[in-house]
Structure formats: C-alpha cells, structure tokens
Amino acid sequence: METCDFDAKYYEKGYHKIAGIDEVGRGCLFGDVVACAIIMPRESLIDGIKDSKKLTEKKRESLYEVILKECVAVGIGRIDAKVIDEINIKQATRLAMKEAVQHLRTQDGEKIIPDLLLVDAEKVDSRIDQEAIVHGDDLSYSIACASIVAKVYRDRLCMRWSQDYPGYGLEKHKGYGTVLHRGAIKALGPTPLHRRTFLRKILPNEPS
C-alpha cells in the first residue's frame, strides 16, 4: 500500500498533527452515521491498512485493535436518524466529522487539536487547514485508518441494535437496504431508529 507516501507530502509541508477523517453508514436506512478522526504517528506503517470496504470483517477487527493501540489520538462523531431526517444525510455526515475532530483525545484523555484534516471527499466545518481527497480511503494512510475504526465502531453498534430490534437482520446487513432489510421493514414497520426520509420508496405512505 502506498498511502503513507501520500500523507508524507503533507508532513514535508510542515504539518505535524495530521488527522485522517472518514465516515460510515451514509447510505444506510437505519441508525447513526458515524465518523472517525484519527492521528497516527508519522512513522506508523501497520501492515494491511486499506479502505475498510476492501477488508474482511475479521481483518478489520484485528486492525481496529492495532490502530487504536498505536494512534496518537482518536475521536468519534455520531449523528442519529432523527437529526439525519431533519438536516439531510450530507449535512449530518459533515456534522459527524466535525464532532469527531472535536472529540479527538490521546490515550490519556488529553484533547488534541490537529493542524491538518485529510477528509475523504468531504468538507468539515472547521478553521483547521483541510484537504478533501477523492478516494481518500485508498490514497491516504490516515484516512484508511479512520475508515477501519469508523466501520468497526458502527458494526458493533449494529450488533447492539440488533438485540433491541430483533427480526430486522441488523447483525447481517448493518442497516443497509438489502432485500432482507427492506422485506423486514415492510413486514414489521420501521423502528424509531430508521431514517424515515430514506424509506419513501419502501413505504410510500409512511410520513417522513
């Protein structure tokens, strides 16, 4: 993987605390959109880091633990379905990313303010210098680390949500609009954690 070389050019420009930012759950019908901001050590080179979507669940889980042990700081942002319906998913994604940056903490709980944000194809409402990078989770080591942490974090939320809302298959599809999920929504109706504005084609008579 050559993502570390991509990040290196920003270190060469004089940045020291570079936060990679990515989100997961943007296209889901259910639950929060989750963002992660993470600062990795400049010399970090964990083997196997790549876009979380290109990794198996088992590999993501193992890398998640290694990343969190090695990172300088990490922050998570979550925006729930109610707010997503109120402000739309694009704005909710940006808000989750902003929260993730604000929540950046070291292993000891110390707040960290990065000097550069590398964002996967988005813009964060922040005065901190930032770069929006198309396919950032493929190009940037720090964004790829953020994508893995965000994905595992949200998948674990889905496992918990599946206990609260059995019958929807959340443990399998993680809230995405699979045939199983759409069929469960039609049969059981939406839960309080479903995004009503995402269900218009599935339940055309459902108020959003």
Alpha-carbon distance 30 to 81, whole Å?
7
What are the extents of the domains in the chain?
Answer: 3-156
pTM metric for this prediction:
0.95
Alpha-carbon distance 30 to 16, whole Å?
37
Q: Domain 3-156 belongs to what topology?
A: Nucleotidyltransferase; domain 5 (3.30.420)
Backbone angles phi, psi at 142, to 5 degrees: -70, -35
Q: How many residues does the chain have?
A: 208
Residue whose structure tokens are 């959340």:
170
Q: What is the pLDDT along the chain (208 residues), one digit of tens a residue?
A: 445 578 999 999 999 999 999 999 999 999 999 999 999 999 999 999 998 999 999 999 999 999 999 999 999 999 999 999 999 999 999 999 999 999 999 999 999 999 999 999 999 999 999 999 999 999 999 999 999 999 999 999 999 999 999 999 999 999 999 999 999 999 999 999 999 999 999 998 766 5
Q: Indicate the residue type of 100.
A: A
Which pLDDT belongs to residue 51?
Answer: 87
Residue whose structure tokens are 């000097």:
115
Question: Any idea what DSSP says for residue 125?
Answer: S
What Rg, from alpha-carbon coordinates, does the chain have?
Answer: 17
Q: Give the dihedral of Cα atoms 7, 10, 16, 22; nearest 10 deg.
A: -50
Which pLDDT belongs to residue 1?
Answer: 43
Alpha-carbon distance 146 to 88, whole Å?
23
Residue 143: how many CA atoms within 13 Å on its side-chain side? 28
